[in-house]
């Protein structure tokens, strides 16, 4: 009923045109050409109105199609001032526009949802077209490649040329492993690929993983579980032994000398074992970081004093008031451990020295280098230095570097051996 009047106008024009045409034809057939000519103006008016109505409608429909094609839907056809067929058409076109806008909003919501999934993934993800242009990339991929942003795979080449070649060559269903040498040390990457066609564009979806980081996290978690089980069982066995031996030693009765020495040996040995197990327990008791902003220089100066290396350290922090957001106590513990290791490495050298250098890289990550001029770490040792309980020291527990690396992982950062040659051995902390 709403558009009944508009429909009536359209039908009336068509009926008039048909009637005039039929009447003119009948008059012409009867030889009454003068009367037939008199009907022509009425037919012309009907044709004119139909053409005008069609032209106005087509102009509005074309405008709508052009706007949709150009992704510009900030318009609305006037409904109030229009009348007749024009108003009916405007209402219909506005309705079409609203449907398109709702569909566009739903598509944008889905895109934000998928983008959020990409960002939450612990694997680097990027989509690349056949020319190497990057269509989408998540933060984890940027972190792995060491880039603040990425629009083409060629941007990876200066930092990781092997990875750039792999990104260019990999095809759907393939799995590649790449070993790259960087300023941060050696990086082992795993790449897998799938294909998709989106908006008539052929894209490759590449997943990139840092194998070292993954294996390190799994390794630490496995060692933590094993340590918790072993220390629990050992402590349960040691506790009654220590208690009983102490009780027997302090009964107030005179004991045979050999018995007393034996009980004293049992008691002291069990206490040493308890202390030894407690050392291992620390590996599984790293507290969750309580982060706050603090100055790097102040933290490093305290670590230098605690490690007792003030006489051989050169401290270089630039900018001098550099801040990081982390657990100051835990990071200080890592620094002290690295400084003690550096002191031991430089011991015996006439010119033994330690250098601590802190810088902010182009992608705003903080890097702190702890270097010494001691001998290079042998290959068979360097491959295992982060393995829990591995040590070459007669009095070492082998958990210092493991705990330090775990602390950095809990901060979302990393600890790496970035230089290992005679005269320059460097461990580096990276804060994302």
CA–CA distance, 307 with 20 (Å, rounded to integer) = 109
Each residue of 3-24: b (16+ CB within 10 Å) or e? eeebeeebeebeebbeebbebb
- Going residue by residue through the chain, which has 432 residues, state the pLDDT in tens, using 9 for 90 and above: 333 344 445 555 555 556 656 666 665 666 665 655 665 565 566 565 666 666 667 777 788 788 877 877 787 877 766 555 567 777 888 888 888 888 888 877 877 766 776 666 678 889 899 888 998 888 888 878 878 888 999 988 888 888 889 888 898 888 888 887 665 556 778 888 988 887 778 889 898 887 665 545 555 565 566 666 666 666 666 677 777 777 776 766 676 777 777 777 777 777 777 766 666 565 556 778 899 999 999 999 999 998 888 888 999 999 989 999 999 999 999 999 999 989 988 887 888 899 999 998 876 789 999 999 988 888 777 767 776 665 666 555 556 787 888 888 888 888 888 888 888 999 999 887
CA–CA distance, 207 with 192 (Å, rounded to integer) = 5
Segments making up each domain of the chain, as ranges? 4-108, 122-213, 215-284, 292-431
| pLDDT value for 4 | 39
Q: What is the 3-state secondary structure (H, E, C) of the chain?
A: CCCHHHHHHHHHHHHHHHHHHHHHHHHHHCCCHHHHHHHHHHHHHHHHHHHHHHHHHHHHHHHHHHHHHCCCCCCCCCCCCCCHHHHHHHHHHHHHHHHHHHHHHHHHHHHHHHHHHHHHCCCEEEEEECCCEEEEECHHHHHHHCCCCCCEHHHHCCCCHHHHHHHHHCCCCCEEEEEEEECCEEEEEEEEEEEEEECCEEEEEEEEEEHHHHHHHHHHHHHHHHHHHHHHHHHHHHHHHHHHHHHHHCCCCCCCHHHHHHHHHHHHHHHHHHHHHHHHHHHHCCCCCCCEEEEHHHHHHHHHHHHCCCCCEEEEECCCCCEEEECHHHHHHHHHHHHHHHHHHHCCCCCCCEEEEEEECCCCCEEEEEEECCCCCCHHHHCCCCCCCCCCCCCCCCCHHHHHHHHHHHCCCEEEEEEEECCEEEEEEEEC
Q: From its phi and psi, is residue 84 left (phi > 0), alpha (psi between -120 and 50) or beta?
A: left
pLDDT digits (tens, 9 = 90+) for 334-373: 999 999 989 988 887 888 899 999 998 876 789 999 999 9
Number of Cβ atoms within 10 Å of the Cβ of 430: 20
pTM: 0.49
Residue 197 forms beta bridges with which residues?
Answer: 202
The CATH fold assigned to 292-431 is: Heat Shock Protein 90 (3.30.565)
pLDDT digits (tens, 9 = 90+) for 87-113: 777 788 888 888 888 888 887 787 776
Q: Please provide residue 149's backbone torsions phi and psi, each rounded to the nearest 5 degrees.
A: -155, 165
CA–CA distance, 93 with 217 (Å, rounded to integer) = 58
Homologous superfamily of 122-213: PAS domain (3.30.450.20)
Number of Cβ atoms within 10 Å of the Cβ of 218: 10
| pLDDT value for 227 | 62
Instruction: Say yes or no: do domains 122-213 and 292-431 share a fold.
Output: no
């Amino acid at each position: 009923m709403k558009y009944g009047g508009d429909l009536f106008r359209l039908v009336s024009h068509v009926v008039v045109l048909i009637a005039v045409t039929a009447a003119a034809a009948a008059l012409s057939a009867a030889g009454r050409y003068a009367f037939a000519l008199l009907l022509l103006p009425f037919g012309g008016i009907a044709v004119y109105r139909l053409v005008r109505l069609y032209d106005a409608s087509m102009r509005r429909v074309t405008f709508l199609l052009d706007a949709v094609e150009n992704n510009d839907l900030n318009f609305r056809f006037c409904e109030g001032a229009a009348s007749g067929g024009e108003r009916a058409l405007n209402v219909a076109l506005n309705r079409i526009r609203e449907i398109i806008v709702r569909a566009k909003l739903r598509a944008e919501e889905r895109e934000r949802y998928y983008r959020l999934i990409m960002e939450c993934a612990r694997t680097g993800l990027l989509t690349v077209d056949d020319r190497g242009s990057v269509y989408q990339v998540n933060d984890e991929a940027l972190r792995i490649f060491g880039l603040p942003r990425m629009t083409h795979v060629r941007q990876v080449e200066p930092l990781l040329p092997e990875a750039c070649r792999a990104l260019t060559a990999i095809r759907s269903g393939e799995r590649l492993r790449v070993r790259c040498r960087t300023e941060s040390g050696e990086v082992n990457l795993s790449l897998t690929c799938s294909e998709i066609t989106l908006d008539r564009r052929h894209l490759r979806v590449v997943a990139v993983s840092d194998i070292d980081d993954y294996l390190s996290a799994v390794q630490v978690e496995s060692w933590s579980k094993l340590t918790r089980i072993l220390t629990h069982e050992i402590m349960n066995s040691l506790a009654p032994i220590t208690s009983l031996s102490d009780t027997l030693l302090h009964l107030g009765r005179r004991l045979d000398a050999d018995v007393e020495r034996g009980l004293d040996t049992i008691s002291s040995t069990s206490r040493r074992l308890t202390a030894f197990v407690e050392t291992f327990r620390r590996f599984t008791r790293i507290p969750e970081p309580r982060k706050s902003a603090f100055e790097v220089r102040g933290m490093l100066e305290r670590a230098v004093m605690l490690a007792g290396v003030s006489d051989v350290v050169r401290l270089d922090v630039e900018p001098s008031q550099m801040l990081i957001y982390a657990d100051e106590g835990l990071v200080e513990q890592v620094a002290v451990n690295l400084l003690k290791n550096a002191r031991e490495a430089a011991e015996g050298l006439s010119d033994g020295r330690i250098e601590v250098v802190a810088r902010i890289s182009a992608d705003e990550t903080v890097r702190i280098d702890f270097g010494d001029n001691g001998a290079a770490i042998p290959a068979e040792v360097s491959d295992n230095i982060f393995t829990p309980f591995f040590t070459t020291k007669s009095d070492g527990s082998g958990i210092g570097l493991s705990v330090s690396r775990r602390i950095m992982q809990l901060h979302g950062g990393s600890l790496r051996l970035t230089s290992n040659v005679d005269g320059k051995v460097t461990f580096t902390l990276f804060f994302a």
